[in-house]
Structure 1
Amino acid sequence: MTVTQTQVQTGTDTDTDAGGEAGELPADLCATADVPHPRPDGRDRYTISEVASITGLSAHTLRWYERIGLMPHIDRSHTGQRRFTNRDLDWLAFVGKLRLTGMPVADMVRYAELVRAGDHTFEERQELLRATREDVRRRIDELRGTLAVLDCKIEFYADARRASERF
Protein backbone atom coordinates (compact mmCIF):
# COMPACT_ATOMS: atom_id res chain seq x y z
CA MET A 1 0.00 0.00 0.00
CA THR A 2 1.38 3.44 -0.88
CA VAL A 3 1.08 6.55 1.23
CA THR A 4 -1.61 7.89 -1.07
CA GLN A 5 -3.83 4.85 -0.55
CA THR A 6 -6.14 4.65 2.39
CA GLN A 7 -8.59 2.21 3.83
CA VAL A 8 -11.87 3.01 5.43
CA GLN A 9 -13.67 0.48 7.59
CA THR A 10 -17.33 0.17 6.67
CA GLY A 11 -19.21 -2.46 8.61
CA THR A 12 -17.26 -5.68 8.32
CA ASP A 13 -15.81 -5.09 4.86
CA THR A 14 -12.70 -3.02 4.20
CA ASP A 15 -12.86 -0.84 1.11
CA THR A 16 -10.28 1.41 -0.47
CA ASP A 17 -11.84 4.84 -0.33
CA ALA A 18 -10.72 8.37 -1.10
CA GLY A 19 -12.71 10.10 1.52
CA GLY A 20 -15.50 8.33 3.32
CA GLU A 21 -18.44 10.63 3.91
CA ALA A 22 -18.74 14.01 2.26
CA GLY A 23 -16.12 16.39 3.59
CA GLU A 24 -14.33 13.64 5.53
CA LEU A 25 -10.70 12.75 5.15
CA PRO A 26 -9.84 9.06 5.17
CA ALA A 27 -7.96 7.26 7.86
CA ASP A 28 -4.32 6.93 6.87
CA LEU A 29 -3.09 3.48 7.76
CA CYS A 30 0.48 4.28 6.73
CA ALA A 31 0.76 6.82 9.53
CA THR A 32 -1.05 4.86 12.25
CA ALA A 33 -0.50 1.18 11.52
CA ASP A 34 0.47 0.24 15.08
CA VAL A 35 -1.35 2.92 17.08
CA PRO A 36 -4.36 1.54 18.96
CA HIS A 37 -7.29 3.87 19.51
CA PRO A 38 -8.60 4.52 23.02
CA ARG A 39 -12.18 3.82 21.93
CA PRO A 40 -13.72 1.46 19.38
CA ASP A 41 -15.42 2.81 16.26
CA GLY A 42 -19.00 3.79 16.97
CA ARG A 43 -18.10 4.92 20.48
CA ASP A 44 -15.19 7.02 19.27
CA ARG A 45 -16.36 10.53 20.08
CA TYR A 46 -13.68 12.69 21.68
CA THR A 47 -13.84 16.25 22.96
CA ILE A 48 -11.24 18.75 21.85
CA SER A 49 -9.50 18.50 25.23
CA GLU A 50 -9.32 14.70 24.93
CA VAL A 51 -7.85 14.99 21.43
CA ALA A 52 -5.38 17.57 22.69
CA SER A 53 -4.33 15.15 25.43
CA ILE A 54 -4.05 12.20 23.02
CA THR A 55 -2.17 14.07 20.27
CA GLY A 56 -0.15 16.57 22.26
CA LEU A 57 -1.61 19.38 20.13
CA SER A 58 -3.25 22.32 21.82
CA ALA A 59 -6.97 22.99 21.48
CA HIS A 60 -6.02 26.24 19.77
CA THR A 61 -4.00 24.32 17.15
CA LEU A 62 -6.85 21.87 16.57
CA ARG A 63 -9.29 24.74 16.03
CA TRP A 64 -6.80 26.43 13.70
CA TYR A 65 -6.35 23.21 11.68
CA GLU A 66 -10.12 23.07 11.23
CA ARG A 67 -10.36 26.77 10.33
CA ILE A 68 -7.64 26.60 7.62
CA GLY A 69 -9.04 23.41 6.07
CA LEU A 70 -6.38 21.01 7.29
CA MET A 71 -8.98 19.05 9.24
CA PRO A 72 -12.19 17.77 7.71
CA HIS A 73 -15.54 18.94 8.96
CA ILE A 74 -15.65 17.96 12.61
CA ASP A 75 -18.98 16.73 13.94
CA ARG A 76 -20.62 18.74 16.71
CA SER A 77 -22.72 17.68 19.66
CA HIS A 78 -26.21 19.09 20.16
CA THR A 79 -24.55 21.83 22.26
CA GLY A 80 -22.08 22.71 19.50
CA GLN A 81 -19.08 20.99 21.10
CA ARG A 82 -16.62 19.42 18.65
CA ARG A 83 -16.68 15.61 18.56
CA PHE A 84 -13.62 13.97 17.00
CA THR A 85 -13.46 10.36 15.78
CA ASN A 86 -10.75 7.73 15.45
CA ARG A 87 -10.56 8.69 11.79
CA ASP A 88 -9.77 12.24 12.86
CA LEU A 89 -7.04 10.90 15.16
CA ASP A 90 -5.59 8.92 12.23
CA TRP A 91 -5.59 12.03 10.08
CA LEU A 92 -3.93 14.07 12.84
CA ALA A 93 -1.24 11.38 13.16
CA PHE A 94 -0.56 11.69 9.42
CA VAL A 95 -0.51 15.49 9.63
CA GLY A 96 2.00 15.11 12.47
CA LYS A 97 4.24 13.06 10.18
CA LEU A 98 3.92 15.71 7.47
CA ARG A 99 4.86 18.38 10.02
CA LEU A 100 7.97 16.41 10.94
CA THR A 101 9.02 16.40 7.28
CA GLY A 102 9.00 20.18 7.28
CA MET A 103 6.22 20.32 4.71
CA PRO A 104 4.78 23.85 4.61
CA VAL A 105 1.29 24.22 6.07
CA ALA A 106 0.02 25.48 2.72
CA ASP A 107 1.13 22.21 1.10
CA MET A 108 -0.53 20.19 3.87
CA VAL A 109 -3.76 22.10 3.32
CA ARG A 110 -3.44 21.54 -0.44
CA TYR A 111 -2.95 17.80 0.19
CA ALA A 112 -6.07 17.74 2.40
CA GLU A 113 -8.05 19.52 -0.33
CA LEU A 114 -6.85 16.98 -2.89
CA VAL A 115 -7.85 14.07 -0.65
CA ARG A 116 -11.32 15.54 -0.22
CA ALA A 117 -11.57 16.07 -4.00
CA GLY A 118 -11.35 12.32 -4.64
CA ASP A 119 -9.46 9.61 -6.47
CA HIS A 120 -8.81 11.66 -9.59
CA THR A 121 -6.21 13.63 -7.57
CA PHE A 122 -3.95 10.65 -6.81
CA GLU A 123 -1.25 11.81 -9.22
CA GLU A 124 -1.09 15.33 -7.76
CA ARG A 125 -1.05 13.97 -4.20
CA GLN A 126 1.69 11.55 -5.10
CA GLU A 127 3.76 14.37 -6.62
CA LEU A 128 3.35 16.49 -3.50
CA LEU A 129 4.53 13.58 -1.34
CA ARG A 130 7.43 12.78 -3.68
CA ALA A 131 8.68 16.37 -3.54
CA THR A 132 8.47 16.26 0.25
CA ARG A 133 10.31 12.92 0.32
CA GLU A 134 13.15 14.40 -1.77
CA ASP A 135 13.39 17.35 0.60
CA VAL A 136 13.53 14.97 3.59
CA ARG A 137 16.25 12.89 1.91
CA ARG A 138 18.30 16.01 1.23
CA ARG A 139 17.97 17.09 4.87
CA ILE A 140 18.93 13.59 6.07
CA ASP A 141 22.10 13.77 3.95
CA GLU A 142 22.90 17.19 5.45
CA LEU A 143 22.35 15.80 8.95
CA ARG A 144 24.61 12.81 8.22
CA GLY A 145 27.36 15.24 7.22
CA THR A 146 26.77 17.24 10.40
CA LEU A 147 26.84 14.04 12.46
CA ALA A 148 30.19 13.08 10.89
CA VAL A 149 31.65 16.46 11.91
CA LEU A 150 30.36 16.03 15.46
CA ASP A 151 31.75 12.48 15.66
CA CYS A 152 35.13 13.75 14.44
CA LYS A 153 35.20 16.54 17.04
CA ILE A 154 34.15 14.19 19.83
CA GLU A 155 36.90 11.76 18.87
CA PHE A 156 39.42 14.62 18.66
CA TYR A 157 38.63 15.70 22.22
CA ALA A 158 38.68 12.11 23.48
CA ASP A 159 42.14 11.62 21.90
CA ALA A 160 43.36 14.95 23.32
CA ARG A 161 42.14 14.01 26.80
CA ARG A 162 43.81 10.59 26.61
CA ALA A 163 47.05 12.21 25.42
CA SER A 164 47.02 14.76 28.25
CA GLU A 165 46.43 11.99 30.81
CA ARG A 166 49.62 10.23 29.67
CA PHE A 167 51.86 13.14 30.71
Structure 2
Amino acid sequence: MRIAEVAEEYGISADTLRYYERIGLLPRVHRNTSGIRDYDEDDCMRVSFIKCMRGANVSIEALIEYMQLFEQGDATLEARKQILIEQRDAARERLERIQAGLDRLDYKIAHYDELLAGHGGSVPQCSKSN
Protein backbone atom coordinates (compact mmCIF):
# COMPACT_ATOMS: atom_id res chain seq x y z
CA MET A 1 0.00 0.00 0.00
CA ARG A 2 1.15 3.52 -0.67
CA ILE A 3 1.46 6.03 2.15
CA ALA A 4 -1.75 7.85 1.18
CA GLU A 5 -3.69 4.59 1.32
CA VAL A 6 -2.25 3.67 4.71
CA ALA A 7 -2.96 7.17 6.01
CA GLU A 8 -6.58 6.91 4.92
CA GLU A 9 -7.00 3.34 6.15
CA TYR A 10 -5.75 4.15 9.67
CA GLY A 11 -6.83 7.77 9.99
CA ILE A 12 -3.25 8.99 10.36
CA SER A 13 -1.67 11.70 8.24
CA ALA A 14 1.12 10.84 5.83
CA ASP A 15 3.33 13.28 7.76
CA THR A 16 2.69 11.30 10.96
CA LEU A 17 3.59 8.04 9.20
CA ARG A 18 6.85 9.60 7.96
CA TYR A 19 7.53 10.88 11.48
CA TYR A 20 6.94 7.41 12.96
CA GLU A 21 9.42 6.00 10.47
CA ARG A 22 11.97 8.74 11.16
CA ILE A 23 11.92 8.20 14.95
CA GLY A 24 12.06 4.42 14.68
CA LEU A 25 8.50 3.42 15.54
CA LEU A 26 8.22 1.93 12.09
CA PRO A 27 11.18 0.19 10.50
CA ARG A 28 12.31 1.53 7.18
CA VAL A 29 9.35 0.92 4.94
CA HIS A 30 10.23 -0.82 1.68
CA ARG A 31 10.27 1.45 -1.34
CA ASN A 32 9.34 0.42 -4.85
CA THR A 33 11.59 1.03 -7.86
CA SER A 34 10.26 4.59 -8.11
CA GLY A 35 11.25 5.28 -4.49
CA ILE A 36 7.67 5.37 -3.24
CA ARG A 37 6.97 3.79 0.15
CA ASP A 38 5.23 0.44 -0.22
CA TYR A 39 3.70 -0.66 3.10
CA ASP A 40 3.32 -4.41 3.48
CA GLU A 41 1.06 -6.31 5.87
CA ASP A 42 3.62 -6.22 8.71
CA ASP A 43 4.02 -2.47 8.33
CA CYS A 44 0.26 -2.03 8.47
CA MET A 45 0.02 -4.22 11.56
CA ARG A 46 2.61 -2.01 13.24
CA VAL A 47 0.70 1.14 12.26
CA SER A 48 -2.44 -0.39 13.75
CA PHE A 49 -0.58 -1.28 16.96
CA ILE A 50 0.97 2.18 17.25
CA LYS A 51 -2.40 3.83 16.73
CA CYS A 52 -3.94 1.56 19.37
CA MET A 53 -1.22 2.32 21.91
CA ARG A 54 -1.33 6.07 21.20
CA GLY A 55 -5.10 5.84 21.71
CA ALA A 56 -4.31 4.39 25.14
CA ASN A 57 -2.08 7.43 25.79
CA VAL A 58 1.16 5.47 25.68
CA SER A 59 3.95 8.00 25.23
CA ILE A 60 6.01 8.14 22.06
CA GLU A 61 9.16 7.54 24.11
CA ALA A 62 7.71 4.40 25.70
CA LEU A 63 6.52 3.17 22.31
CA ILE A 64 9.96 3.66 20.79
CA GLU A 65 11.53 1.66 23.61
CA TYR A 66 8.82 -0.99 23.32
CA MET A 67 9.31 -1.36 19.55
CA GLN A 68 13.09 -1.59 19.95
CA LEU A 69 12.59 -4.38 22.46
CA PHE A 70 10.05 -6.07 20.20
CA GLU A 71 12.66 -6.22 17.45
CA GLN A 72 14.94 -8.15 19.82
CA GLY A 73 12.44 -10.97 20.20
CA ASP A 74 10.89 -12.98 23.01
CA ALA A 75 13.83 -12.49 25.35
CA THR A 76 12.38 -9.01 25.97
CA LEU A 77 8.85 -10.08 26.91
CA GLU A 78 9.27 -9.11 30.58
CA ALA A 79 10.77 -5.71 29.70
CA ARG A 80 7.92 -5.01 27.27
CA LYS A 81 5.37 -6.00 29.88
CA GLN A 82 7.04 -3.63 32.36
CA ILE A 83 6.75 -0.72 29.92
CA LEU A 84 3.03 -1.41 29.59
CA ILE A 85 2.63 -1.61 33.37
CA GLU A 86 4.40 1.73 33.79
CA GLN A 87 2.22 3.33 31.13
CA ARG A 88 -0.91 1.91 32.76
CA ASP A 89 0.16 3.28 36.14
CA ALA A 90 0.78 6.72 34.60
CA ALA A 91 -2.67 6.59 32.97
CA ARG A 92 -4.26 5.74 36.33
CA GLU A 93 -2.52 8.72 37.94
CA ARG A 94 -3.82 11.01 35.19
CA LEU A 95 -7.29 9.54 35.64
CA GLU A 96 -7.17 10.19 39.41
CA ARG A 97 -6.20 13.83 38.78
CA ILE A 98 -9.03 14.18 36.27
CA GLN A 99 -11.49 12.60 38.72
CA ALA A 100 -10.37 15.00 41.46
CA GLY A 101 -10.99 17.89 39.07
CA LEU A 102 -14.45 16.55 38.22
CA ASP A 103 -15.22 16.21 41.93
CA ARG A 104 -14.25 19.85 42.49
CA LEU A 105 -16.43 20.95 39.60
CA ASP A 106 -19.38 18.91 40.91
CA TYR A 107 -18.93 20.52 44.32
CA LYS A 108 -18.86 23.99 42.78
CA ILE A 109 -21.94 23.29 40.64
CA ALA A 110 -23.81 22.07 43.74
CA HIS A 111 -22.76 25.29 45.48
CA TYR A 112 -24.29 27.31 42.63
CA ASP A 113 -27.45 25.22 42.83
CA GLU A 114 -27.71 26.30 46.49
CA LEU A 115 -27.10 29.94 45.55
CA LEU A 116 -29.70 29.83 42.82
CA ALA A 117 -32.18 28.22 45.21
CA GLY A 118 -31.80 31.30 47.41
CA HIS A 119 -29.72 29.85 50.18
CA GLY A 120 -27.11 32.60 49.88
CA GLY A 121 -23.41 32.14 49.83
CA SER A 122 -20.20 33.26 51.35
CA VAL A 123 -16.63 33.51 50.16
CA PRO A 124 -16.03 31.43 47.01
CA GLN A 125 -14.58 28.00 47.71
CA CYS A 126 -13.13 25.44 45.40
CA SER A 127 -14.06 22.38 47.41
CA LYS A 128 -14.29 21.11 50.95
CA SER A 129 -10.78 19.72 50.71
CA ASN A 130 -9.36 22.26 48.21
What is the TM-score when the length of structure 2 is the normalising length?
0.76
Aligned CA distance change for structure 1 residues 51 and 158 (closer, same or farther; 3 Å): farther
Over the matched positions of the two proteins, sequence identity in percent amounts to: 34
The corresponding residue for 1:72 is 27
Structure number with the higher strand fraction is 1
Aligned-residue CA RMSD in angstroms? 2.2
Alignment of 1:15-164 (within 5 A): 46-163=1-118
Q: Measure how far apart 1:79 and its partner are.
A: 1.6
Q: Deviations over 1:51-87 (max 9, x none)?
A: 2223332212211211221012322223221122444
Shift of 1:89: 3.3
Higher mean Cα deviation, 61-70 or 154-163?
Answer: 154-163
**Greater radius of gyration (CA):** 2
Q: Whose helix proportion is higher, 1 or 2? A: 2
How high is the TM-score relative to the length of structure 1? 0.61
- Shift of residue 146 of structure 1? 1.0
TM-superposition CA deviations, 1:98-127 (whole Å, max 9, x none): 334544323211111111111111011111
RCO comparison, higher one (Cα < 8 Å, 6+): 1
Mind listing any 5+ residue stretches in structure 1 that lack a counterpart? 1-45
Q: CA deviation at 1:145?
A: 0.9
